Structure 1
């Protein structure tokens, strides 16, 4: 048994499905047919019993009437009536009080199968003398002139033949049903396994050729096809992620290479002749320190982005009102950028609370406001608005600066992405700020979007879910 189970476990899923379906159908069919056979056999036996009881009742009525109306009636005179009412393969015998046969009538029936036996109460049973199936009914008869027993028997050969034929028909039908179910199960298993085979082939191709392979020809719409579609979606995300990681490494290398090259040039200059020249020494040291600060800021932003992306929000933050924090951040910005005009309109969300770390919300606002300041040249107005939506709070920061081209809008949240790097080479920054801000917002199940027009300005919208309303 253990060897059979081990063999079944090693079979492919297709054959397991076929065997499982076949076994299930076999058990259902066998149970149904066996129950049906027993019910039909019992029903037919009851029919035979009812038939022989009806015949016995007729004989009883006949003898009772004859002895009552005919004083000279003899048992032998009833032969003609019994032969007329008797069916094929039946037997009737009248025996006296002591068991002596008085009249025997048979129709294709061996009277030796039934032993004479007087009874005082009716008895109905079936027996198998000499492997022949016989139904016997004995009933006492008593009149004013006669006391005896009527024996009525019926050969169940036809009944047994029909039962055997019915059993064979069910067995043959069961075998055919199992064979057909096995073929159908195999065909269905092949159909079910098609998406899995395609998925297996795609995974093998991914292993051999890379992340560009996908599962093709998925049109069934069932769960396995959904699994294949899920695999395709996962591979799309992996491909995008790997491409972003590659771009991230390339951009980080490029951003770090520039300060390193500048520092290497100044140190080489100092090594050759700058040690004895105070002016060259001072210039090289200042330039190197500036590049070191630039690298330090870059590394710090990379670490911040890594922490934000790996942050799990398992801790519950106490709900806060965003309005005081927004106004306080704007006050600090006014001190740093006195030449700008900051406008705040937060009256529409003063009665709501949001679950977010105050430090994270402050960092998001600082990143967005810093970008607004950097890219505002002539019109130095920056407006901050807040409003309550249905289930969210929306914070909007609008500037009237140089704007962002439509072609660049889909990429502004990518790491190290800067719009028109040649034009903005003099504007400080690494291109990581918006990536960090968007990741913070996403971690709190929020949404961050940007709308912009060139030379008209940029609008950054931050949606965060409402925790509760102030009562």
Structure 2
């Protein structure tokens, strides 16, 4: 069984060769759409003009028919050449009986006819008595007026045939046939066709160019987006490119500009995730190095000679267990910190009662630390909903109160204040302990940062508690701040957004 090796680069290259530019698709689609619409409009307009021209020609033929009929209906006998001669003052050649003049010499008929119109008169037998043209025309008897539009080799012809009835006897005395060569009608229609074709081609070409130009302008953010992605993909250092390359900011305020901003925000978030991951790996490896070294040192000691000394054995086991507990706590805190980075996605719609949670944590700490005087100043008299998951609010308050307990000195007193304004619920935790210098106050929310690492390690801290609290508060669009003076204490202030009553 042979294995087929798929060349991903060649597939991508083939796809790029086969792909058609969106701007070209847009231009072609717009041109086709406009052409179809123009074609429908041109057909309707062409039919409208054709009908107007045909009705005009039809009116000429009917006027000629009516004028000729009016001259002949006064006879009570079937028509013959004498009747025609009397009615229209026609003189015939004695040799061939052809007329020497036409009925158009009659002023009434002349006003109703034009050069392309032929008037023919026939008797009851269908024999031609007179015609204004020597051109041989096809005739047939009819019972009533008939109008037909027929195609000849060169042009269209309108034929109108009608029987003639005597006014006196109401008997049929002959037939009239009007033949109108629609030469001007055909020529005008042909000119309209050429005109619409030329206009259609011009409009299609102009619309294609304009559409391509507009597409180039409108899709500029997409082009910049593609260029940014290609620059990141083709960079030798993708991590560096991801941190530096961004889609240029476009001043337009439309959906594509918003797409560019969203893409930049996504790159910023990806960069933060990468930095967090790198920092996570570096911090964990750094923090685990010490306990692992301590445990390894005790095990080496026991391996060499300490296992024979009960006192050394007890001390090594106890120290190793302490370091294992510290590693376990460290791993748990790192997991909490990782979850804190995702609170907006996983718990964005959660709410909790700030008053209830604050009272619960206050009572728990009073029970756990009876040697401390914990003073509560509660301005939340009723249920107060805030946009945060209940467990996370408990975790934030526990971290702040636990730090207040850890870093208190002789004055074992802690103040917890709960209040609200029009937008936020505010928790304030104040202690009267060691305090923080202005140099260190900006760094206390960083991961693994401890003001005094030796003293913090003795108190069981890993430097992650305030970082977790900071991430949680920011994840719920709140604010956390600190004010502190060395050897006088610290004040931590947390603001969380209220839930809209509606």
Bin the TM-score by the shorter chain.
0.7 to 0.9
Deviation readout 1:97-143 (Å, 9 max, x if unpaired): 3334343324xxx632x334454422222112444321122334433
User: Where in structure 2 are there 5+ consecutive unaligned residues?
Assistant: 1-14, 77-82, 90-102
Residue 157 (structure 1) aligns with? 183
Equivalent residues in 2 for 1:184-203, closer than 5 Å: 184-203=210-229
Residue 35 (structure 1) aligns with? 44
**CA 1:353–1:105: 2 relative to 1, 3 Å:** same
Residue 205 (structure 1) aligns with? 231
Work out which of the residue numbers 478, 482, 485 in structure 2 matches 1:447. 478
Q: Give the Cα separation in 2 of the matches to 1:192 and 1:72.
A: 78
- Aligned length, in residue pairs: 455
Work out which of the residue numbers 166, 170, 174 in structure 2 matches 1:148. 174
Work out whether residues 75 and 168 of structure 2, in 8 Å CA contact, stay in contact via their aligned partners in 1: no
How big is the alpha-carbon RMSD for the aligned residues of Structure 1 and Structure 2? 4.1
SS of residue in 1 equivalent to 2:132: strand
State the shift of 1:84 in Å.
4.9
User: Where in structure 1 are there 5+ consecutive unaligned residues?
Assistant: 1-5
Work out whether residues 125 and 137 of structure 1, in 8 Å CA contact, stay in contact via their aligned partners in 2: yes
SS of residue in 2 equivalent to 1:429: coil
Q: Give the Cα separation in 2 of the matches to 1:451 and 1:23.
A: 66
State the shift of 1:367 in Å.
1.2
Q: Give the Cα separation in 2 of the matches to 1:331 and 1:383.
A: 13
Equivalent residues in 2 for 1:5-154, closer than 5 Å: 10-61=19-70, 74-77=86-89, 78-81=103-106, 82-106=109-133, 111-112=135-136, 114-141=137-164, 142-144=166-168, 147-154=173-180
Q: Which moved more, 1:204-213 or 1:391-400?
A: 391-400
SS of residue in 2 equivalent to 1:23: helix
Q: Give the Cα separation in 1 of the matches to 2:282 and 2:301.
A: 28
Is 1:363 equivalent to 2:363 in the alignment? no
Residue 448 (structure 2) aligns with? 416
State the shift of 1:354 in Å.
6.5
State the shift of 1:242 in Å.
1.0
Is 1:298 equivalent to 2:330 in the alignment? yes
Work out whether residues 121 and 140 of structure 1, in 8 Å CA contact, stay in contact via their aligned partners in 2: yes
State the shift of 1:48 in Å.
1.9
Q: Give the Cα separation in 1 of the matches to 2:203 and 2:116.
A: 37
State the shift of 1:413 in Å.
4.2
Work out whether residues 384 and 398 of structure 1, in 8 Å CA contact, stay in contact via their aligned partners in 2: yes
Residue 460 (structure 1) aligns with? 493
Work out whether residues 393 and 466 of structure 1, in 8 Å CA contact, stay in contact via their aligned partners in 2: no
Work out whether residues 354 and 465 of structure 1, in 8 Å CA contact, stay in contact via their aligned partners in 2: yes
**CA 1:438–1:23: 2 relative to 1, 3 Å:** same
Q: Give the Cα separation in 1 of the matches to 2:249 and 2:497.
A: 40
Q: TM-score, normalised to structure 2's length?
A: 0.75
Work out which of the residue numbers 364, 374, 389 in structure 2 matches 1:342. 374
Work out which of the residue numbers 174, 196, 214 in structure 1 matches 2:200. 174
State the shift of 1:369 in Å.
0.8
Q: Give the Cα separation in 2 of the matches to 1:232 and 1:43.
A: 62
Is 1:231 equivalent to 2:263 in the alignment? yes
Q: Give the Cα separation in 1 of the matches to 2:338 and 2:291.
A: 22
**CA 1:75–1:99: 2 relative to 1, 3 Å:** farther
**CA 1:54–1:396: 2 relative to 1, 3 Å:** farther
State the shift of 1:66 in Å.
11
**CA 1:315–1:206: 2 relative to 1, 3 Å:** closer
